[in-house]
Each structure stands twice: as structure tokens, then as C-alpha cells.
Amino acid sequence: MQYDVSVDPATGWGHVRVSGEVRLEEFPDALAAMWSDPAYAGTQCAVWDFSAAQSGWHLPEVVNITTYIAAAKSGRGPTTIAIVASRDLEFGIGRMFAAFADKCGYTINVVRTPEAAHAWLAGQPRT
């Protein structure tokens, strides 16, 4: 799994672009790296773009990662997240993750395109 983290200066939103195979054992380290990035950790909203990624996660893996996030996040990073998943499998995994969003303290929407992600984030209330 490869990922790139940036913050859009115009919106202040975090952007995470993920590519390659997303394996459960790598994901906690990637999250910890994002949360420790001061620029990303200071954002309220983010786009997690998995359109160039592949995953074969099942429900137990989704439960494991949400349990990890709930325990480790500790107020770091954005809480309103649009997940971009253009492929059906990743879209379904994203929807499973979104079903557990309240356990992580997240508000999540899963969409097919970056444009849809930006439109959804633009309509979300700011705290």
C-alpha cells in the first residue's frame, strides 16, 4: 500500500490518496503516520481516495480497524471523511466501514468520484 497525504490550502481539507493493495496489517501504521502529521491532524474534513487501491477485506477486518481507530485516534485528525471508492468491492468495504463510523467518532460518506466527495464535504456543517 502506498499513500500520499496533503492539505488543500483553498479548503483546508486533508487529502489521502491510497494506491496498491490495502492490507490490514499496514493500515494502522499508515493511520498513525497521518495522525502525527501536524498539517493533516489539524484538519476537520478529509477525502480518503481509494480509487487506485485494491482490498479484499471482509467484515472482521473492518471491525478490527474500527476498533483500532476508536482506541488510537484520540482526537487527532479529521472527523468528517468522504471515502472515494470507484470499484464495487472497495465501495462495499467503505460502506461497511461507514456503518461503524460512530464507533470511531467519524461522519463518513462513501462516493464514487472525488468531485462527489468534494460536493458532500462542502455541504457538511463545520464545528
Q: How far apart are CA 5 and CA 69, in angstroms?
A: 18
Residues 42-85 have pLDDT tens digits of: 999 999 999 999 888 878 888 888 888 888 887 778 989 999 99
> 7: number of CA atoms within 13 Å, CB side?
15
Predicted confidence at residue 13, as pLDDT, reads 95
The full set of domains in the chain, from first to last, is 2-122 (3.30.750.24)
Predicted confidence at residue 97, as pLDDT, reads 87
Residues 102-119 have pLDDT tens digits of: 888 889 999 999 999 999
Residue percentage of the chain with pLDDT more than 70? 99
